Amino acid sequence: MNKTIPFWNPYRETLPSEQLLQLQLKKFKRIVRWAYDHSRFHRRLYEEAGIVPEEIRTLDDVRRVPKVEKSMMRTIQLKDPFPYGDALCVPLDEVTEFRQTSGTTGQPVYQPDTWQDWEWWSECWATLLWAQGYRPHDRVFIPFGYNVFVAFWAGHYACEKIGCETVPGGVLDTQARILKIQELKATAMMATPTYVLGMADTAKKKLSIDPASDLTIRRITCAGEPGALIPATKKRMEEAWGAKVFDHSGATEIGAWGFECEAQPGALHVNEAMFLTEVEDMDTGQPVTEPGKRGKLVITALDRKAQPCIRFDSKDIVEISSETCECGRSYRLFPGGVVGRADDITKIKGVLFAPSSVEDVVRSIQGLSDEYELIVDKKGDVDHLLLRVETAPGAPSEPKEIEQQLRTTLRLKTNLQYDIEFHDYGSLPRYEVKAKRFKDLRKKGGE
C-alpha cells in the first residue's frame, strides 16, 4: 500500500464542490426517506411539518425539514422500544452497540448503532487520522478508560482499520500510562487537551521525564474539548510533547464530523461526503453564508441508520470561511474549529462572551500554569467576573508583572474587567475529561 497518499479516500476528499453538493443532496434525500419509512418519530415529525420526502428536490428544500434537538431525544427515549424509543429505525436485534452522551447538559441520551453504523463511525475516524498522518507503522496509545461514552472507541477501531498497532491504556493511572508509552515507544496518542497537558505535567514532576525529549509521541489527536485549536493551548501541548497536535470534532449523536489535517490550517475540515452542515444565525435562525460570520451548526449524518441524525441542532458555534486548504481537500473549513457552545456563549455586562477566549489569554502568558477557573456571579445587579489562576513552578511568588500582563490582555481580548486571584501551583482542580472551568452562578444550576 502506498503510505504517501495524503487522502484516505482520494476520490471523495478531492471532489469538486459542485459534485460534493450533488452527493450531499442525494444522500440527504435517502436518509430522510429511510427515517420516514422506518421511524414513527420521524414520520410524525415530518407529517406535522407538512413535508414528505419526495418534496425534497434541492438543497434549499433541506431547511423545510424540521430540526431535532437533544431535549426531543430525551422525551422520545421514554417510549418503546426500550431503551431507545421510536426514533429507532432498525429491529432491536440489529443493534450491536450501546453508547450514551455524557449528560453534561442533562439526562444522557442513549445511542444505538448497528455494526454497519459502527463501520461508518470508524470510517469517519479513519478519514481524520489518515489526514493527520497516522499510518500502519504507528503504535498508537490511547490513555483513556473506555466505557459507556463514545469517546475514543471509534478512534481505536479506526486505528485498527488503518493498520496501526493500537494500545488501550484504559485503567492504568497517569504515571503508569506514561511509563507504558516510554516502554513501548508509542508514536501517537489521543486524549483531551486537558489530559495532554496534565500528562506532560505529571511526567515532569513525578517521573522526571520530559515528554518532548524522553518519549517518542510525535502526533496527538485531541477530542472532547476545543483546546487543540486555541492557539496558546495548542502551542503549550506541542512544546510539551515535541509533537504535532491536531483537533477533531464530533458528538455521540452525530459522529466525527470535523478534523484538522496535517497542514494545520488553524481550522477544521468538515467531512462533507459524510455530513451535511448548515450554519444559522443564533437569533433569527436564518442561514449564515458570509465569510467571517459566526453561527450555530445544524448537522446531518448522511449515512447513519439505526438512530438517524437529521438536521440536529448541535449548539456548536462555528465561523464561515471561503478559504481553501493547502492540503488539497475540497472539504469546507471552519476557522478555529468549534469556537463556542450556544449554551456557553453568554452576555456579561452586556458584552457577548465566549469562555474559550479566556483560556487563550491565560495559556499565552508565561509564568502561569495550564489551569484556571472562571466564575461569573452577581454583585448586586452587576455582573462580576472572578478569574483564579495558578503560578507555574519557578514563577515569582508576587507576580505583579504577570498580573499586569494578564489584566491588559484580558481587557484587550474580551473587553471585560476581572478580579484575579493567584493560587499556588497544583491547588486548582485537575480534570481528565470535559473540564468545567467556567461557572456561571447567575443561572440556576450554573455550578
Partner 1 sequence: MRPEVYVREISPQVEQMLKLATSLYESSEDFPAVNRNLKRILASIEMLKLNLEEATD
* Residues found near partner 1 in the complex (CB under 8 A): 9-12, 14-15, 19-20, 22-23, 26-27, 114-116, 118-120, 123, 303
Cα 37 to Cα 65, 245, 305: the distances in Å are 15, 43, 12
**Which CB, 123 or 138, lies closer to partner 1?**
123
Cβ distance to partner 1 smaller for residue 118 or 425: 118
Position of cell 438512530? 307
Paired sense of beta strands 368-379 and 438-440, if any: parallel
The CA–CA distances, whole Å, from 69 to 38, 113, 179, 314 equal 19, 19, 43, 8
CB of 310 to partner 1, least distance (A): 17
Q: What is the β-pairing status of strands 312-319 and 219-222?
A: unpaired
Provide, rounded to whole angstroms, the least separation between the CB of residue 118 and partner 1. Answer: 8
Instruction: State in angstroms the smallest separation of the CB of 9 from partner 1.
Output: 6
Q: Which is nearer to partner 1, 82 or 115 (CB)?
A: 115
CB of 28 to partner 1, least distance (A): 12
Task: Indicate the residue among 170 and 328 with the shorter CB distance to partner 1.
Answer: 328
Beta strand ranges found along 129-229 (DSSP E): 139-142, 165-168, 188-191, 219-222
17 or 417, CB closer to partner 1?
17
Beta carbon nearer to partner 1, 116 or 409: 116
Least CB distance from residue 254 to partner 1, whole Å?
17
> 251 pairs with which residues across the strands?
255
Cβ proximity to partner 1, 26 vs 293, nearer residue: 26
Shortest distance, CB of residue 426 to partner 1, whole angstroms? 47
Contacts of 398 (CB under 8 A, 6+ apart): none
Residues 6+ apart with CB under 8 A from 78: 85
d(CA 352, CA 348): 7
Please report how close the Cβ of residue 8 comes to partner 1 at its closest, in angstroms: 9
Whether residue 287 is preceded by a cis peptide bond, meaning omega within 30 degrees of 0, is no
- Report the alpha-carbon distance of residue 61 to residue 35 in Å, rounded: 17
* Torsion over CA: 334, 339, 344, 349 (sign): negative
Note the helical H segments in 253-384: 356-362
